[in-house]
Structure 1
Amino acid sequence: MTHFRKLAAGVAVALALSAPAHAHRAWILPSTFTLSGDEQLITVDGAISNDLFFPNHVAMRLDDMKITAPDGTVTGVENGWTGKIRSTFDVTLDQQGTYKIGNGGNSFFASWEEDGERRRARGTYEGFKEEGVLDKDGVELTKMSRQTATFVTLGAPTDDVFATTGEGLEFTPVTHPNDVYTGEEITFGFTLDGAPIEGMEVEIVKGHDRYRDEQGTLELTTDADGQITFTLEESGRYWLETGTQGTTMVDGKEIGARSGYVITFEALSF
Protein backbone atom coordinates (compact mmCIF):
# COMPACT_ATOMS: atom_id res chain seq x y z
CA MET A 1 0.00 0.00 0.00
CA THR A 2 1.32 3.43 -0.85
CA HIS A 3 0.60 6.73 0.82
CA PHE A 4 1.24 10.39 0.12
CA ARG A 5 4.19 11.80 2.00
CA LYS A 6 3.46 15.19 3.52
CA LEU A 7 6.08 17.72 2.48
CA ALA A 8 7.74 19.82 5.18
CA ALA A 9 5.76 22.94 5.95
CA GLY A 10 8.86 25.10 5.74
CA VAL A 11 9.57 24.01 2.19
CA ALA A 12 6.20 24.97 0.73
CA VAL A 13 2.95 23.34 1.78
CA ALA A 14 1.90 19.81 2.59
CA LEU A 15 1.13 19.18 -1.05
CA ALA A 16 1.11 21.22 -4.21
CA LEU A 17 -2.62 21.32 -4.82
CA SER A 18 -4.50 22.28 -7.91
CA ALA A 19 -7.73 21.64 -9.76
CA PRO A 20 -6.40 21.27 -13.29
CA ALA A 21 -8.19 23.19 -16.00
CA HIS A 22 -8.62 21.05 -19.10
CA ALA A 23 -10.07 21.91 -22.48
CA HIS A 24 -11.48 18.38 -22.55
CA ARG A 25 -13.55 17.46 -19.50
CA ALA A 26 -14.76 14.00 -18.50
CA TRP A 27 -18.30 13.52 -17.24
CA ILE A 28 -20.94 10.90 -16.45
CA LEU A 29 -24.54 12.09 -16.70
CA PRO A 30 -27.57 10.01 -15.61
CA SER A 31 -30.99 10.60 -17.17
CA THR A 32 -32.38 11.13 -13.64
CA PHE A 33 -30.66 11.68 -10.29
CA THR A 34 -33.53 10.91 -7.91
CA LEU A 35 -36.42 8.49 -8.34
CA SER A 36 -39.18 6.82 -6.31
CA GLY A 37 -40.85 3.44 -6.43
CA ASP A 38 -39.73 -0.14 -5.97
CA GLU A 39 -37.63 -0.50 -9.13
CA GLN A 40 -36.51 1.94 -11.80
CA LEU A 41 -34.18 2.03 -14.80
CA ILE A 42 -32.02 4.96 -15.88
CA THR A 43 -29.80 5.60 -18.87
CA VAL A 44 -26.36 7.12 -18.37
CA ASP A 45 -24.16 8.98 -20.87
CA GLY A 46 -20.40 9.30 -20.57
CA ALA A 47 -18.00 11.38 -22.62
CA ILE A 48 -14.94 13.60 -22.65
CA SER A 49 -15.85 16.87 -24.33
CA ASN A 50 -15.07 20.54 -24.74
CA ASP A 51 -18.60 21.55 -23.69
CA LEU A 52 -20.18 20.09 -20.58
CA PHE A 53 -22.81 17.43 -21.24
CA PHE A 54 -22.53 18.03 -25.00
CA PRO A 55 -20.55 15.14 -26.60
CA ASN A 56 -18.09 16.52 -29.14
CA HIS A 57 -14.69 14.93 -28.53
CA VAL A 58 -14.33 11.26 -27.52
CA ALA A 59 -16.46 8.64 -25.79
CA MET A 60 -15.78 7.50 -22.24
CA ARG A 61 -14.55 3.94 -21.92
CA LEU A 62 -16.90 1.53 -20.18
CA ASP A 63 -14.55 -1.37 -19.43
CA ASP A 64 -13.92 -0.17 -15.87
CA MET A 65 -17.30 1.44 -15.21
CA LYS A 66 -18.75 0.18 -11.93
CA ILE A 67 -22.18 0.42 -10.35
CA THR A 68 -22.10 0.29 -6.54
CA ALA A 69 -25.51 -0.44 -4.99
CA PRO A 70 -26.64 0.82 -1.55
CA ASP A 71 -25.73 -2.54 0.00
CA GLY A 72 -22.18 -2.40 -1.44
CA THR A 73 -22.76 -4.84 -4.29
CA VAL A 74 -20.68 -3.92 -7.34
CA THR A 75 -21.78 -4.72 -10.89
CA GLY A 76 -20.99 -3.64 -14.41
CA VAL A 77 -23.11 -1.73 -16.90
CA GLU A 78 -26.20 -2.98 -18.72
CA ASN A 79 -26.67 -2.57 -22.48
CA GLY A 80 -23.40 -0.69 -22.83
CA TRP A 81 -22.67 0.99 -26.17
CA THR A 82 -19.70 3.11 -27.19
CA GLY A 83 -19.61 5.31 -30.25
CA LYS A 84 -17.03 7.82 -31.43
CA ILE A 85 -17.97 10.66 -29.11
CA ARG A 86 -20.31 9.17 -26.48
CA SER A 87 -20.94 6.03 -24.47
CA THR A 88 -24.35 5.03 -23.15
CA PHE A 89 -25.50 2.35 -20.73
CA ASP A 90 -28.44 1.40 -18.50
CA VAL A 91 -28.59 0.90 -14.75
CA THR A 92 -31.41 -0.94 -12.97
CA LEU A 93 -32.16 0.45 -9.51
CA ASP A 94 -33.75 -2.28 -7.42
CA GLN A 95 -32.58 -1.28 -3.95
CA GLN A 96 -33.71 1.65 -1.87
CA GLY A 97 -30.96 4.20 -1.33
CA THR A 98 -28.03 5.79 -3.13
CA TYR A 99 -26.00 4.25 -5.94
CA LYS A 100 -22.52 5.29 -7.04
CA ILE A 101 -21.83 5.14 -10.77
CA GLY A 102 -18.26 5.72 -11.84
CA ASN A 103 -14.91 4.63 -13.13
CA GLY A 104 -11.26 5.25 -12.40
CA GLY A 105 -8.26 3.72 -10.75
CA ASN A 106 -4.51 3.93 -10.52
CA SER A 107 -1.87 3.81 -13.22
CA PHE A 108 1.78 4.77 -13.53
CA PHE A 109 3.50 7.00 -16.07
CA ALA A 110 7.22 6.60 -16.79
CA SER A 111 9.55 8.91 -18.69
CA TRP A 112 13.25 8.44 -19.47
CA GLU A 113 16.04 9.15 -21.99
CA GLU A 114 17.24 6.31 -24.20
CA ASP A 115 19.37 6.42 -27.36
CA GLY A 116 19.06 10.19 -27.45
CA GLU A 117 15.27 10.11 -27.42
CA ARG A 118 12.69 10.77 -24.75
CA ARG A 119 10.68 7.61 -24.09
CA ARG A 120 7.31 7.49 -22.33
CA ALA A 121 5.13 4.62 -21.14
CA ARG A 122 1.95 4.11 -19.15
CA GLY A 123 1.17 0.94 -17.23
CA THR A 124 1.24 -0.76 -13.84
CA TYR A 125 4.07 -0.66 -11.33
CA GLU A 126 4.41 -4.43 -11.47
CA GLY A 127 4.50 -4.32 -15.27
CA PHE A 128 7.24 -1.68 -15.25
CA LYS A 129 9.21 -3.89 -12.87
CA GLU A 130 8.94 -6.94 -15.11
CA GLU A 131 9.83 -4.96 -18.23
CA GLY A 132 12.86 -3.34 -16.64
CA VAL A 133 11.49 0.17 -17.03
CA LEU A 134 12.26 0.99 -13.39
CA ASP A 135 15.94 0.17 -14.01
CA LYS A 136 16.31 2.75 -16.79
CA ASP A 137 18.82 5.52 -16.08
CA GLY A 138 17.09 8.69 -14.94
CA VAL A 139 13.58 7.22 -15.14
CA GLU A 140 10.91 9.54 -13.76
CA LEU A 141 7.83 7.80 -12.38
CA THR A 142 4.44 9.31 -11.54
CA LYS A 143 1.45 7.62 -9.95
CA MET A 144 -1.81 8.74 -11.55
CA SER A 145 -5.18 8.29 -9.83
CA ARG A 146 -8.49 9.59 -11.15
CA GLN A 147 -12.18 9.00 -10.50
CA THR A 148 -15.21 10.16 -12.45
CA ALA A 149 -18.50 9.58 -10.63
CA THR A 150 -22.12 10.47 -10.17
CA PHE A 151 -24.73 9.43 -7.60
CA VAL A 152 -28.35 8.37 -8.10
CA THR A 153 -30.93 7.69 -5.39
CA LEU A 154 -34.03 5.51 -5.38
CA GLY A 155 -36.25 6.54 -2.48
CA ALA A 156 -34.50 8.20 0.44
CA PRO A 157 -30.77 9.11 0.20
CA THR A 158 -28.28 6.87 2.03
CA ASP A 159 -24.57 7.33 2.80
CA ASP A 160 -23.05 3.85 2.52
CA VAL A 161 -21.49 4.50 -0.91
CA PHE A 162 -19.45 7.33 0.63
CA ALA A 163 -17.62 5.02 3.04
CA THR A 164 -13.90 5.75 2.75
CA THR A 165 -11.05 3.29 2.34
CA GLY A 166 -8.35 5.57 3.73
CA GLU A 167 -6.40 5.41 0.49
CA GLY A 168 -6.21 8.12 -2.17
CA LEU A 169 -8.51 11.05 -2.81
CA GLU A 170 -12.08 10.37 -1.62
CA PHE A 171 -15.38 12.26 -1.60
CA THR A 172 -16.94 12.77 1.86
CA PRO A 173 -20.06 14.92 1.46
CA VAL A 174 -21.82 16.56 4.39
CA THR A 175 -24.68 17.59 2.11
CA HIS A 176 -25.86 14.54 0.18
CA PRO A 177 -25.31 15.19 -3.57
CA ASN A 178 -28.89 14.04 -4.22
CA ASP A 179 -30.24 16.52 -1.69
CA VAL A 180 -28.95 19.78 -3.19
CA TYR A 181 -31.33 22.73 -3.54
CA THR A 182 -30.85 26.26 -4.80
CA GLY A 183 -30.53 28.94 -2.14
CA GLU A 184 -29.39 26.43 0.50
CA GLU A 185 -25.89 26.05 1.90
CA ILE A 186 -24.09 23.00 0.50
CA THR A 187 -21.03 21.36 2.08
CA PHE A 188 -18.87 18.79 0.31
CA GLY A 189 -15.70 17.28 1.74
CA PHE A 190 -12.61 15.42 0.58
CA THR A 191 -9.98 13.29 2.26
CA LEU A 192 -6.53 12.22 1.11
CA ASP A 193 -5.39 8.88 2.48
CA GLY A 194 -8.06 9.14 5.18
CA ALA A 195 -7.22 12.66 6.37
CA PRO A 196 -9.04 15.92 5.50
CA ILE A 197 -7.14 17.72 2.76
CA GLU A 198 -6.72 21.45 3.20
CA GLY A 199 -5.98 24.00 0.47
CA MET A 200 -7.21 21.90 -2.47
CA GLU A 201 -8.78 23.90 -5.28
CA VAL A 202 -12.25 22.90 -6.48
CA GLU A 203 -14.06 24.07 -9.61
CA ILE A 204 -17.83 23.86 -10.08
CA VAL A 205 -19.44 24.69 -13.42
CA LYS A 206 -23.10 24.59 -14.42
CA GLY A 207 -23.68 22.25 -17.36
CA HIS A 208 -24.53 23.18 -20.95
CA ASP A 209 -21.97 25.99 -20.91
CA ARG A 210 -22.01 25.82 -24.70
CA TYR A 211 -25.01 28.14 -24.61
CA ARG A 212 -23.51 30.76 -22.28
CA ASP A 213 -21.18 33.64 -23.03
CA GLU A 214 -19.67 33.34 -19.55
CA GLN A 215 -18.74 29.94 -18.14
CA GLY A 216 -19.50 31.09 -14.60
CA THR A 217 -16.94 28.87 -12.88
CA LEU A 218 -17.24 28.73 -9.10
CA GLU A 219 -13.72 28.46 -7.64
CA LEU A 220 -13.37 27.23 -4.07
CA THR A 221 -10.63 25.97 -1.74
CA THR A 222 -11.01 23.27 0.90
CA ASP A 223 -10.67 24.37 4.53
CA ALA A 224 -8.89 22.68 7.44
CA ASP A 225 -11.67 20.08 7.55
CA GLY A 226 -11.20 19.31 3.86
CA GLN A 227 -14.55 20.92 3.08
CA ILE A 228 -16.03 23.50 0.74
CA THR A 229 -19.26 25.35 1.48
CA PHE A 230 -21.23 27.13 -1.22
CA THR A 231 -24.71 28.09 -2.41
CA LEU A 232 -26.11 27.66 -5.92
CA GLU A 233 -28.61 30.20 -7.22
CA GLU A 234 -29.67 28.35 -10.38
CA SER A 235 -31.17 24.89 -10.68
CA GLY A 236 -29.66 22.47 -13.16
CA ARG A 237 -26.90 19.94 -13.63
CA TYR A 238 -23.43 20.74 -12.34
CA TRP A 239 -19.88 19.46 -12.90
CA LEU A 240 -17.25 19.48 -10.13
CA GLU A 241 -13.53 18.84 -10.55
CA THR A 242 -10.73 18.81 -8.02
CA GLY A 243 -7.30 17.25 -7.67
CA THR A 244 -3.96 17.06 -5.90
CA GLN A 245 -0.38 17.07 -7.04
CA GLY A 246 2.50 15.99 -4.84
CA THR A 247 4.61 12.92 -4.05
CA THR A 248 4.09 9.40 -2.78
CA MET A 249 6.31 6.58 -1.52
CA VAL A 250 6.48 3.30 -3.46
CA ASP A 251 8.95 0.56 -2.50
CA GLY A 252 10.77 3.07 -0.33
CA LYS A 253 11.23 5.53 -3.19
CA GLU A 254 9.64 8.93 -3.56
CA ILE A 255 7.86 9.46 -6.88
CA GLY A 256 5.46 12.02 -8.28
CA ALA A 257 1.74 11.60 -7.64
CA ARG A 258 -1.39 13.16 -9.09
CA SER A 259 -5.01 12.51 -8.13
CA GLY A 260 -8.23 13.84 -9.60
CA TYR A 261 -11.93 13.56 -8.84
CA VAL A 262 -14.86 14.58 -11.07
CA ILE A 263 -18.47 14.55 -9.87
CA THR A 264 -21.74 15.42 -11.60
CA PHE A 265 -24.79 16.36 -9.55
CA GLU A 266 -27.94 18.45 -9.85
CA ALA A 267 -29.45 21.33 -7.91
CA LEU A 268 -33.23 21.49 -7.65
CA SER A 269 -35.51 24.41 -6.94
CA PHE A 270 -38.01 24.27 -4.11
Structure 2
Amino acid sequence: MLKKSVLLLSSLLISSSLSAHTLWVVPSHYVLSKPDSWIAVDASAANMTFVPDKGIGLNALKLYLPDGSVKPVTDVYQGKRKSMADVQLGGDGTYRIELANPLRFFTSYELNGERKRLMVNKQERTAQLPQGAANVETVQIRSRNFAYVTVNGPTNTVVKVRGEGLELSSETHPADAVAGEKLSFVFNLDGKPQAGVKGVLSYAGELYRNEAGRVDFETAADGSFSFTPQHAGRYLIEASYSADSATALADKVRESVTYTFEVALP
Protein backbone atom coordinates (compact mmCIF):
# COMPACT_ATOMS: atom_id res chain seq x y z
CA MET A 1 0.00 0.00 0.00
CA LEU A 2 2.86 2.37 0.86
CA LYS A 3 4.54 1.77 -2.50
CA LYS A 4 1.26 2.45 -4.33
CA SER A 5 0.74 5.68 -2.37
CA VAL A 6 4.27 6.86 -3.19
CA LEU A 7 3.71 6.20 -6.88
CA LEU A 8 0.43 8.09 -6.85
CA LEU A 9 1.98 11.02 -5.03
CA SER A 10 4.91 11.07 -7.47
CA SER A 11 2.47 11.10 -10.39
CA LEU A 12 0.54 13.93 -8.77
CA LEU A 13 3.69 15.98 -8.21
CA ILE A 14 4.68 15.57 -11.87
CA SER A 15 1.23 16.77 -12.92
CA SER A 16 1.48 19.75 -10.59
CA SER A 17 4.81 20.73 -12.11
CA LEU A 18 3.18 20.69 -15.54
CA SER A 19 0.86 23.50 -14.52
CA ALA A 20 3.93 25.71 -14.90
CA HIS A 21 5.93 23.59 -17.34
CA THR A 22 5.09 21.68 -20.50
CA LEU A 23 6.34 18.13 -20.67
CA TRP A 24 7.57 17.06 -24.11
CA VAL A 25 9.15 13.98 -25.65
CA VAL A 26 11.47 14.57 -28.62
CA PRO A 27 13.17 11.81 -30.64
CA SER A 28 16.50 12.56 -32.32
CA HIS A 29 15.02 11.34 -35.64
CA TYR A 30 11.45 11.27 -36.91
CA VAL A 31 12.16 9.52 -40.22
CA LEU A 32 14.81 6.86 -40.81
CA SER A 33 15.76 4.66 -43.75
CA LYS A 34 17.83 2.00 -41.98
CA PRO A 35 16.10 -0.78 -40.01
CA ASP A 36 17.39 -1.60 -36.53
CA SER A 37 18.60 1.99 -36.06
CA TRP A 38 19.06 3.53 -32.64
CA ILE A 39 17.50 6.85 -31.71
CA ALA A 40 17.90 9.08 -28.68
CA VAL A 41 14.78 10.42 -26.98
CA ASP A 42 14.94 13.61 -24.93
CA ALA A 43 12.27 14.50 -22.39
CA SER A 44 11.89 17.54 -20.19
CA ALA A 45 9.37 19.72 -18.41
CA ALA A 46 10.08 23.24 -19.64
CA ASN A 47 8.68 26.72 -20.11
CA MET A 48 10.26 27.21 -23.53
CA THR A 49 9.68 24.85 -26.44
CA PHE A 50 12.50 22.31 -26.76
CA VAL A 51 14.73 24.19 -24.31
CA PRO A 52 15.16 21.68 -21.43
CA ASP A 53 14.47 22.82 -17.90
CA LYS A 54 13.62 19.90 -15.59
CA GLY A 55 14.51 16.23 -15.96
CA ILE A 56 11.66 13.76 -15.39
CA GLY A 57 11.34 10.08 -14.63
CA LEU A 58 11.09 7.83 -17.69
CA ASN A 59 10.03 4.59 -16.02
CA ALA A 60 6.69 4.76 -17.86
CA LEU A 61 8.22 5.40 -21.31
CA LYS A 62 6.95 2.87 -23.85
CA LEU A 63 7.58 2.01 -27.48
CA TYR A 64 4.60 0.94 -29.61
CA LEU A 65 5.76 -1.23 -32.51
CA PRO A 66 4.27 -1.00 -36.03
CA ASP A 67 2.11 -4.07 -35.35
CA GLY A 68 0.59 -2.43 -32.28
CA SER A 69 2.47 -4.42 -29.65
CA VAL A 70 4.16 -2.55 -26.81
CA LYS A 71 7.47 -2.86 -25.04
CA PRO A 72 8.97 -0.80 -22.21
CA VAL A 73 12.05 1.34 -22.75
CA THR A 74 14.71 0.41 -20.21
CA ASP A 75 17.84 2.34 -21.30
CA VAL A 76 16.92 5.59 -19.56
CA TYR A 77 18.71 8.35 -17.66
CA GLN A 78 17.26 11.22 -15.65
CA GLY A 79 19.34 14.37 -15.56
CA LYS A 80 18.83 17.71 -13.83
CA ARG A 81 17.69 19.59 -16.95
CA LYS A 82 16.48 16.75 -19.16
CA SER A 83 16.12 13.00 -19.31
CA MET A 84 17.21 10.72 -22.13
CA ALA A 85 16.49 7.26 -23.44
CA ASP A 86 18.23 5.09 -26.04
CA VAL A 87 15.73 3.21 -28.19
CA GLN A 88 16.43 0.66 -30.89
CA LEU A 89 13.80 0.35 -33.59
CA GLY A 90 13.19 -2.82 -35.55
CA GLY A 91 11.94 -3.23 -39.11
CA ASP A 92 10.01 -0.90 -41.39
CA GLY A 93 6.94 0.97 -40.24
CA THR A 94 5.75 3.70 -37.89
CA TYR A 95 6.54 3.56 -34.16
CA ARG A 96 4.95 5.53 -31.33
CA ILE A 97 7.03 6.74 -28.40
CA GLU A 98 4.79 7.56 -25.45
CA LEU A 99 5.19 8.75 -21.89
CA ALA A 100 1.80 8.66 -20.21
CA ASN A 101 0.30 8.91 -16.76
CA PRO A 102 -2.23 6.15 -16.08
CA LEU A 103 -5.87 7.07 -15.59
CA ARG A 104 -6.20 8.25 -12.01
CA PHE A 105 -8.66 9.99 -9.71
CA PHE A 106 -8.17 12.90 -7.36
CA THR A 107 -10.77 13.68 -4.68
CA SER A 108 -10.60 16.97 -2.81
CA TYR A 109 -12.70 18.10 0.16
CA GLU A 110 -12.82 20.64 2.97
CA LEU A 111 -12.57 19.75 6.63
CA ASN A 112 -12.41 22.31 9.44
CA GLY A 113 -11.59 25.05 6.96
CA GLU A 114 -8.71 23.17 5.32
CA ARG A 115 -8.61 21.73 1.78
CA LYS A 116 -7.53 18.08 1.74
CA ARG A 117 -7.21 15.36 -0.88
CA LEU A 118 -7.44 11.63 -1.51
CA MET A 119 -6.32 9.62 -4.56
CA VAL A 120 -9.63 7.76 -4.93
CA ASN A 121 -12.65 7.77 -7.26
CA LYS A 122 -16.28 8.50 -6.32
CA GLN A 123 -17.06 4.90 -5.49
CA GLU A 124 -14.01 4.55 -3.26
CA ARG A 125 -14.28 7.93 -1.56
CA THR A 126 -17.41 7.09 0.46
CA ALA A 127 -15.53 4.75 2.74
CA GLN A 128 -12.52 7.05 3.12
CA LEU A 129 -13.99 10.53 3.56
CA PRO A 130 -13.93 11.68 7.19
CA GLN A 131 -17.10 12.72 8.93
CA GLY A 132 -17.87 16.37 8.27
CA ALA A 133 -16.15 16.51 4.86
CA ALA A 134 -17.68 19.25 2.68
CA ASN A 135 -17.41 20.52 -0.90
CA VAL A 136 -16.31 17.09 -2.11
CA GLU A 137 -15.23 16.80 -5.73
CA THR A 138 -13.59 13.97 -7.68
CA VAL A 139 -11.64 14.64 -10.87
CA GLN A 140 -10.56 12.05 -13.43
CA ILE A 141 -7.07 12.92 -14.72
CA ARG A 142 -4.97 11.56 -17.59
CA SER A 143 -2.07 12.88 -19.67
CA ARG A 144 -0.06 11.66 -22.66
CA ASN A 145 3.16 12.87 -24.26
CA PHE A 146 4.15 11.26 -27.53
CA ALA A 147 5.82 11.32 -30.93
CA TYR A 148 5.98 9.08 -34.00
CA VAL A 149 9.07 7.73 -35.75
CA THR A 150 8.89 6.08 -39.16
CA VAL A 151 11.40 3.65 -40.66
CA ASN A 152 11.13 3.55 -44.47
CA GLY A 153 7.47 3.11 -45.42
CA PRO A 154 4.86 4.65 -43.08
CA THR A 155 2.18 2.47 -41.46
CA ASN A 156 -1.01 3.43 -39.62
CA THR A 157 -1.59 0.92 -36.80
CA VAL A 158 -0.09 2.99 -33.97
CA VAL A 159 -1.41 6.26 -35.44
CA LYS A 160 -5.07 5.25 -35.21
CA VAL A 161 -7.29 6.64 -32.47
CA ARG A 162 -7.69 4.09 -29.67
CA GLY A 163 -10.87 5.55 -28.20
CA GLU A 164 -9.43 6.24 -24.75
CA GLY A 165 -9.19 9.76 -23.38
CA LEU A 166 -7.97 12.76 -25.37
CA GLU A 167 -6.29 11.84 -28.66
CA LEU A 168 -5.57 13.53 -31.96
CA SER A 169 -5.69 12.30 -35.52
CA SER A 170 -4.80 13.79 -38.87
CA GLU A 171 -5.43 13.17 -42.55
CA THR A 172 -1.69 13.62 -43.07
CA HIS A 173 0.60 10.85 -41.83
CA PRO A 174 3.15 12.14 -39.28
CA ALA A 175 5.99 11.25 -41.66
CA ASP A 176 4.48 13.31 -44.49
CA ALA A 177 4.20 16.81 -42.99
CA VAL A 178 5.79 19.37 -45.34
CA ALA A 179 6.32 23.11 -44.94
CA GLY A 180 3.80 25.15 -46.93
CA GLU A 181 1.19 22.37 -46.93
CA LYS A 182 -1.91 22.57 -44.72
CA LEU A 183 -2.13 20.22 -41.74
CA SER A 184 -5.53 19.38 -40.26
CA PHE A 185 -5.97 17.69 -36.89
CA VAL A 186 -9.03 16.34 -35.11
CA PHE A 187 -9.06 16.04 -31.32
CA ASN A 188 -11.11 13.12 -30.04
CA LEU A 189 -12.35 12.36 -26.54
CA ASP A 190 -13.05 8.67 -25.95
CA GLY A 191 -13.15 8.14 -29.71
CA LYS A 192 -15.46 11.03 -30.63
CA PRO A 193 -14.53 14.47 -32.05
CA GLN A 194 -14.45 16.99 -29.22
CA ALA A 195 -15.16 20.71 -29.46
CA GLY A 196 -13.61 23.14 -27.01
CA VAL A 197 -10.19 21.52 -26.70
CA LYS A 198 -7.77 24.36 -26.01
CA GLY A 199 -4.13 24.30 -26.98
CA VAL A 200 -0.95 26.01 -28.07
CA LEU A 201 1.11 25.38 -31.19
CA SER A 202 4.82 26.26 -31.08
CA TYR A 203 7.98 25.39 -32.95
CA ALA A 204 11.71 25.07 -32.34
CA GLY A 205 14.02 28.05 -32.12
CA GLU A 206 11.92 30.49 -30.11
CA LEU A 207 14.95 31.10 -27.86
CA TYR A 208 16.49 32.90 -30.84
CA ARG A 209 13.43 34.89 -31.94
CA ASN A 210 12.08 38.20 -30.68
CA GLU A 211 8.58 36.78 -31.13
CA ALA A 212 7.96 33.25 -29.89
CA GLY A 213 5.51 32.62 -32.73
CA ARG A 214 3.11 30.59 -30.60
CA VAL A 215 -0.48 30.12 -31.75
CA ASP A 216 -3.36 29.60 -29.32
CA PHE A 217 -6.26 27.54 -30.65
CA GLU A 218 -9.57 25.98 -29.67
CA THR A 219 -11.14 23.13 -31.60
CA ALA A 220 -14.29 23.72 -33.64
CA ALA A 221 -17.57 21.84 -33.28
CA ASP A 222 -16.13 18.92 -35.25
CA GLY A 223 -13.01 18.78 -33.06
CA SER A 224 -10.80 20.18 -35.80
CA PHE A 225 -7.80 22.49 -35.81
CA SER A 226 -5.78 23.39 -38.92
CA PHE A 227 -2.67 25.38 -39.75
CA THR A 228 -0.09 25.68 -42.50
CA PRO A 229 3.51 25.41 -41.25
CA GLN A 230 5.69 28.05 -42.85
CA HIS A 231 8.97 26.64 -41.60
CA ALA A 232 10.58 23.22 -41.68
CA GLY A 233 11.62 21.88 -38.30
CA ARG A 234 10.19 20.49 -35.09
CA TYR A 235 6.79 21.50 -33.75
CA LEU A 236 4.93 21.01 -30.50
CA ILE A 237 1.20 20.82 -29.87
CA GLU A 238 0.07 20.99 -26.24
CA ALA A 239 -3.66 20.68 -25.61
CA SER A 240 -6.06 20.07 -22.76
CA TYR A 241 -9.75 19.59 -22.11
CA SER A 242 -11.70 19.94 -18.86
CA ALA A 243 -15.41 19.54 -18.25
CA ASP A 244 -18.04 18.26 -15.84
CA SER A 245 -18.54 14.55 -16.38
CA ALA A 246 -20.99 13.35 -13.70
CA THR A 247 -20.10 9.68 -14.14
CA ALA A 248 -20.13 6.93 -11.56
CA LEU A 249 -16.40 7.49 -10.97
CA ALA A 250 -15.85 11.25 -11.24
CA ASP A 251 -17.48 14.68 -11.15
CA LYS A 252 -15.08 16.21 -13.68
CA VAL A 253 -12.64 15.08 -16.34
CA ARG A 254 -9.27 16.64 -17.18
CA GLU A 255 -7.29 15.35 -20.14
CA SER A 256 -4.07 16.64 -21.67
CA VAL A 257 -1.68 15.71 -24.48
CA THR A 258 1.58 16.96 -25.91
CA TYR A 259 2.62 15.88 -29.38
CA THR A 260 5.92 16.62 -31.09
CA PHE A 261 6.39 16.21 -34.82
CA GLU A 262 8.68 17.20 -37.65
CA VAL A 263 7.88 19.27 -40.73
CA ALA A 264 10.11 18.55 -43.73
CA LEU A 265 11.43 20.92 -46.37
CA PRO A 266 9.26 21.10 -49.53
The question of a shared fold, defined as TM-score above 0.5 by the shorter chain, is answered with yes
- 2:98 equivalent in structure 1: 102
Counterparts of 1:50 and 1:88, CA distance in 2: 18
Counterparts of 1:127 and 1:207, CA distance in 2: 44
Return closer, same or farther for 1:192/1:209 CA change in 2, 3 Å cut-off. Answer: same
Q: What amino acid maps onto 1:238 in structure 2?
A: Y
Counterparts of 1:130 and 1:80, CA distance in 2: 40
TM-score, length basis structure 2: 0.85
Higher helix share: 2
Counterpart selection for 2:243 from 239, 243, 246: 246
CA deviation after TM superposition for structure 1 residue 245, in Å = 0.9
Counterparts of 1:124 and 1:41, CA distance in 2: 40
CA deviation after TM superposition for structure 1 residue 164, in Å = 2.6
Counterpart selection for 1:257 from 230, 253, 256: 253
Q: Does 1:25 align with 2:14?
A: no
Work out whether residues 138 and 250 of structure 2, in 8 Å CA contact, stay in contact via their aligned partners in 1: no
Q: What amino acid maps onto 1:209 in structure 2?
A: E
- Which consecutive unaligned segments of at least 5 residues does structure 1 have? 1-20
- 2:58 equivalent in structure 1: 62
CA deviation after TM superposition for structure 1 residue 158, in Å = 1.3
Partner SS state of residue 50, structure 2: coil
Counterparts of 1:223 and 1:156, CA distance in 2: 32
Work out whether residues 51 and 208 of structure 1, in 8 Å CA contact, stay in contact via their aligned partners in 2: no
Counterpart selection for 2:116 from 114, 119, 122: 119
Partner SS state of residue 101, structure 1: strand
- Which consecutive unaligned segments of at least 5 residues does structure 2 have? 1-17
Give CA-to-partner distance per residue, 1:44-72, whole Å, 9 cap, x none. Answer: 0101012221212x212212111101111
Counterpart selection for 1:215 from 191, 212, 230: 212
- 1:188 equivalent in structure 2: 185
- 1:145 equivalent in structure 2: 142
- 2:81 equivalent in structure 1: 85
CA deviation after TM superposition for structure 1 residue 110, in Å = 2.0
Counterparts of 1:61 and 1:225, CA distance in 2: 35
Higher relative contact order (Cα pairs below 8 Å, separated by 6+ residues): 1
Partner SS state of residue 259, structure 2: strand
Partner SS state of residue 37, structure 1: coil
Identity %: 33
Give CA-to-partner distance per residue, 1:181-234, whole Å, 9 cap, x none. Answer: 101111122211211112323321012322222111123332343222211111
Partner SS state of residue 164, structure 2: coil
- 2:173 equivalent in structure 1: 176
Q: CA RMSD in A?
A: 2.3
Q: Which moved more, 1:214-223 or 1:256-265?
A: 214-223
- 2:151 equivalent in structure 1: 154
Counterparts of 1:82 and 1:250, CA distance in 2: 37
Q: What amino acid maps onto 2:95 in structure 1?
A: Y
Q: What amino acid maps onto 1:174 in structure 2?
A: E
Partner SS state of residue 160, structure 1: coil
Work out whether residues 69 and 95 of structure 1, in 8 Å CA contact, stay in contact via their aligned partners in 2: no
TM-score, length basis structure 1: 0.83
Return closer, same or farther for 1:78/1:240 CA change in 2, 3 Å cut-off. Answer: same
